[in-house]
Amino acid sequence: TQLLEQSPQFLSIQEGENLTVYCNSSSVFSSLQWYRQEPGEGPVLLVTVVTGGEVKKLKRLTFQFGDARKDSSLHITAAQPGDTGLYLCAGRLTSGTYKYIFGTGTRLKVLA
């Protein structure tokens, strides 16, 4: 059972365009993280959101945690070729387990 659904799965856009990636679940998470993974490497953390409704900005990237802590979004403004990669959301459930759940991933390609 995939608890974290990401959309879209694939996205190919031109440099300068904006985009939003969504991470949705029917479960409540104590926190959600976004990672970026480049070919041949392990994922690298971009941000962690903890509080429902929280918004965090990292240069041109804006992350939001849903009010009910079941969903999150990543918005990129004026995408650049260097943003190309696989974006993964991940979280830990609130139910006392210490497992991590990862989303299915969004593969982004930004064309120059």
Partner 1 sequence: EAQVTQNPRYLITVTGKKLTVTCSQNMNHEYMSWYRQDPGLGLRQIYYSMNVEVTDKGDVPEGYKVSRKEKRNFPLILESPSPNQTSLYFCASSLFKRQGSYNEQFFGPGTRLTVL
Residues of this chain that interact with partner 1 (CB under 8 A) are: 2, 4, 6, 9, 30-31, 33, 40-45, 48, 50, 88, 90, 92, 98-105
Sequence-distant (6+) residues with CB within 8 A of 106 are 6, 7, 8, 9, 10, 11, 21, 86, 87, 88
Which is nearer to partner 1, 51 or 80 (by Cβ)? 51
CB of 78 to partner 1, least distance (A): 26
User: Who's near 76: CB < 8 A, 6+ residues apart?
Assistant: 18, 19, 20, 21, 60, 61, 62, 83, 108
Q: How far is the CB of 31 from partner 1 (least distance, A)?
A: 4
Longest dimension (CA), the chain: 45
Euclidean distance between CA atoms 85 and 105, whole angstroms: 10
Nearer to partner 1 (CB atom), residue 57 or residue 80:
57
**Min dist. Cβ of residue 93 to partner 1 (A):** 9
20 vs 48, beta carbon nearer partner 1:
48
Closest approach, Cβ 101 to partner 1, in A, equals: 8
